Structure 1
Amino acid sequence: MKNPQRALDKIDLEILATMYADPSLTNKDIAAKVKLAPSSSLERVKKLQSDGIIENLSMQVNLNALGGHIQAMISVRLKDHNRATVDNFQTSLLPMAEVLNIFHMGGENDFFVHVAVTDSIHLRDFVFNAITARKEVSHVETALVYEHQISHTLPNFK
């Protein structure tokens, strides 16, 4: 049963911070950093996963090495904001190879779509074909991403 609201103790938080800082660490490395036996560390990690606190493990790739030389954030406003329109917009874009992330927003724009493409022509064609051609879209604005950094410090909300 998923319980993402359960209380986390100091060791759980240390395990999360260690994994967040370096997801490539082995269980043995994590156990050493938090001063636990590897079996205890593994048991805690599995519990954090089964409780929905660790939602998934992922990897990052160098998009340039794959041909994704341009990244952009595309802000999108929809004409209609009913659940079906919003859900359909997200579910139809997310499987596209260019799409890295979709952010459903409050405020002036309804979505930010983070994409990676090969070049400016690819970006233009993606925006025209995948976004502005949709009848539910009322406004699109594209901003180039020059650099993207990710924090490896676990947020502390206490």
Structure 2
Amino acid sequence: MSTGSSSARMSGGPRSQDLRTRVDGGAGLERRARATVRLDGIDHRLLAALAEDARMPNNALAARVGIAPSTCLTRVRRLRDEGVIRGFHADVDPALAGRPLQAIIAVRMQGAARSHLPAFARELARLPGVLDVYLIGGAHDFFVHVTAPDSDVLNDFVIENLSANPGVALTETNLIFQHTRGGWY
């Protein structure tokens, strides 16, 4: 299961809501509660295989993990329903898609704007070129991962969407020279 700028999301089922604490009353930002889903060795092998190739057909996934296809289907469905699997995503190469410049923009908000963090995060996530928005602790409030076709477009993005916003106190743009995706599992 990989992340990228283009994604087709499959939401978790009703039970997955029980496992999340909504930061903003259900508007997009979430924090995982301490409760976790009980997973066994087969579940972990399924997750590792799907993290490597989320498009693997069910029968191939079952064979790789060593279980029957019907069992595999049931277990993957349960993992989705429990919210362990949040979605399946296309890993798009931004450079090959015409957006070779990537940056992480650190954003610090004005003190009075802190009550609007969830709304601001949703607003940022909808902007063209934004891959991810992270609400963080520390000196900054957000890290925003963006792509752009060139430095002029990146500059315009920062000025028009961040610096011009009266709630934004500071931005710091860090260019990404190389990116190596880790295997989380």
Instruction: Give 1:152 deviation, angstroms.
Output: 2.1
Q: How many residues align?
A: 154
Which protein is bigger by CA-based radius of gyration?
1
Structure 1 residues 4-47: Cα deviation after superposition (integer angstroms, max 9, x where no partner) = 52211111111111111222211111101111111111111001
**Deviation of the 1:61 alpha carbon:** 0.9
Counterpart code for 2:139? E
Task: Please say if 1:14 is aligned against 2:14.
Answer: no
Q: Distance in 1 between matches of 2:112 and 2:41?
A: 42
Task: Give the TM-score taking structure 2 as reference length.
Answer: 0.79
1:133 — aligned with what? 164
Deviations 1:34-86 (A, max 9, x none): 11111111111001111111111111111112211100011010012665421
- Unaligned stretches of 5+ in structure 2? 1-14, 20-35
Q: Which amino acid aligns with 1:127?
A: V
Q: Is the aligned partner of 1:55 residue 2:91? A: no
Give 1:40-79 correspondences, 5 Å limit: 40-79=71-110
Match of 2:129 among 76, 98, 107: 98
Q: What percentage of aligned pairs have identical amino acids?
A: 34
**Is residue 21–residue 153 contact of structure 1 (8 Å, CA) maintained in 2?**
no
Q: What is the rounded CA distance, in whole Å, between the counterparts of 1:29 and 1:49 in structure 2?
A: 19
SS in 2 for 1:139: strand
Deviates more, 1:78-87 or 1:32-41: 78-87
Question: 1:135 Cα deviation (Å)?
Answer: 0.2
Looking at structure 2, the residues matched to 35 and 55 of structure 1 have their Cα atoms a distance apart, in angstroms, of: 24
The answer for unaligned runs of 5 or more in structure 1 is none
Q: Tell me how far apart the structure 1 counterparts of residues 65 and 123 of structure 2 sit (CA, whole Å).
A: 42
Aligned Cα root-mean-square deviation (Å): 1.5
